[in-house]
């Protein structure tokens, strides 16, 4: 039986208030986040992390002084490993965080010590972006090369309409929609982390794939029985970002006197952007904008359908040749998505 290593990638988060500033520096010093020459990026990352650290510390203080993302990801890794073992596979799951501990370099060392027959790289970002999954996969390649890690490897670049993901998200959403209908017909806001428009225009498939996830979940819920809108949160800086913003959609619903159900469509774990931005800041905004009821759908977390979907992804990846794949093992981005890792070289 082949011994398989599965690496689950996520953003990472500070494990103490003292770690907030270096975490932010690592984030903004990533060329996938700020595509400027290295010395300039380093200087900007120093300034931005210094300026944003006090605000970020306040956020993480509200979460007990640290990010819950690592714990959430470890729980998912344990659930996935257990399910794959039940299915008869010899699999060990590792966690690799992009901007804080355990760093990707640490995961490379652990995989190397395991000496697997096959390696599956699985970002916990259902929709591909060069700023998230792309950055993690690129960093893995760099660290693996430095360590001399050579093993047959398959990269799962994206899975925006993976059936388990869609089923879990639809089931959780249906519960909140039913609760909201006691007050009135809700507006269902699928909220995703935003990106600067210039990144999308440069060929990043993220926005299109988020739209595909929303369409799949709405279809599963039984469209057109709900009014669904896609919106984007977490805007920072003066650049033009993709929209509409979640704040604007909450305001719009409040003006119409409609209850709101918010679905975190691009996050699979609870962290600061769900527990603080959605649960506290946007709930406060909703109460001041006349929204009669504001409900937030939990992230899919370790929902059995989602974990089952991840297990399916791993099993499919083991069966295909080395390289990137989607959950259907072919390119799903159109030709304008130049940052898609499945883009043919002739495209």
Domains of the chain with bracketed CATH: 17-61 (no CATH), 163-296 (3.40.50.1400)
* Cα gap 211→166, rounded to integer Å: 13
> pLDDT at position 199, please?
93
- Residue 118 is labelled as binding a ligand: no
Mean pLDDT of the 39-49 span: 93
Answer yes or no: is pLDDT of 346 > 50: no
What is the model's pTM? Answer: 0.93
* Cα gap 168→309, rounded to integer Å: 9
**Contact (CB, 8 A) for 137 and 30:** no
* Greatest distance between any 2 Cα atoms in the chain: 60
* Cα gap 255→245, rounded to integer Å: 16
* Cα gap 235→255, rounded to integer Å: 23
Answer yes or no: is pLDDT of 341 > 70: no
| Nearest by Cα to 10 from 89, 85, 92, 93 | 93
* Cα gap 96→76, rounded to integer Å: 13
* Cα gap 137→8, rounded to integer Å: 11
Q: pLDDT tens-digit profile of 101-123?
A: 999 999 999 999 999 999 999 99
Strand partners, 247: none
* Cα gap 227→187, rounded to integer Å: 5
> pLDDT at position 347, please?
33
Helix (H, G, I), strand (E, B) or coil at 233: strand
**Contact (CB, 8 A) for 143 and 97:** no
Burial of 131 (0-12, 13-18, 19+ CB in 10 A): buried
**Sheet strand arrangement including 90-97:** 90-97, 3-10, 118-123, 153-158, 323-326
Answer yes or no: is pLDDT of 343 > 80: no
Q: How many CA atoms lie within 13 A of 255 on its CB side?
A: 6
Ramachandran region of residue 34, left (φ > 0), alpha (ψ -120 to 50) or beta? beta
> pLDDT at position 44, please?
92
Percent share of the chain, pLDDT over 70? 93
Q: pLDDT tens-digit profile of 270-299?
A: 999 999 999 999 999 999 999 999 999 999
- DSSP code string of 178-190: HHHTTTSPPEEEE
Q: pLDDT tens-digit profile of 119-161?
A: 999 999 999 999 999 999 999 999 999 999 999 999 999 999 9
- Residue 303 is labelled as binding a ligand: no
My answer on whether omega of the bond before 60 falls inside 30° of 0, hence cis, is: no
């Amino acid at each position: 039986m082949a011994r398989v290593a599965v690496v689950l990638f996520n953003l990472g988060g500070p494990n103490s208030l003292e770690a907030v500033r270096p975490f932010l520096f690592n984030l903004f010093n990533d060329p996938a986040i700020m595509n400027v020459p290295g010395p300039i990026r380093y200087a900007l990352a120093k300034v931005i992390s210094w300026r944003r650290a006090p605000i970020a510390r306040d956020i993480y203080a509200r979460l007990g002084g640290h990010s819950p993302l690592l714990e959430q990801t470890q729980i998912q890794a344990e659930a996935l490993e257990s399910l794959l073992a039940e299915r008869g596979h010899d699999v060990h799951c590792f966690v690799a965080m992009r901007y804080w501990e355990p760093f990707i370099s640490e995961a490379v060392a652990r995989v190397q010590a395991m000496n697997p027959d096959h390696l599956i790289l699985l970002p916990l970002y259902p929709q591909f972006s060069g700023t998230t999954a792309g950055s993690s996969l690129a960093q893995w390649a760099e660290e693996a090369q430095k360590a001399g890690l050579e093993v047959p490897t398959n990269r799962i670049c994206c899975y925006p309409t993976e059936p388990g993901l869609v089923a879990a998200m639809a089931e959780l959403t249906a519960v909140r929609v039913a609760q909201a209908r006691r007050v009135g017909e809700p507006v269902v806001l699928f909220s995703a982390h935003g990106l600067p428009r210039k990144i999308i225009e440069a060929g990043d498939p993220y926005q299109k794939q988020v739209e595909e996830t929303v369409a799949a979940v709405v279809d599963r819920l039984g469209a057109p029985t709900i009014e669904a809108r896609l919106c984007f949160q977490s805007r920072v800086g003066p650049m033009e970002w993709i929209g509409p913003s979640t704040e604007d959609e909450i305001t719009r619903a409040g003006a119409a006197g409609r209850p709101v159900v918010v679905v975190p469509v691009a996050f699979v774990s609870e962290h600061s952007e769900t527990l603080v931005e959605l649960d506290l800041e946007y709930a406060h905004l909703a109460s001041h904008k006349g929204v009669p009821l504001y409900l937030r759908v939990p992230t899919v977390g370790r929902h059995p359908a989602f974990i089952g979907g991840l297990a399916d992804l791993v099993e499919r990846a083991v069966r295909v040749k080395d390289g990137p794949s989607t959950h259907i093992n072919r390119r799903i981005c159109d030709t304008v998505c130049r940052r898609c890792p499945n883009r043919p070289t002739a495209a």
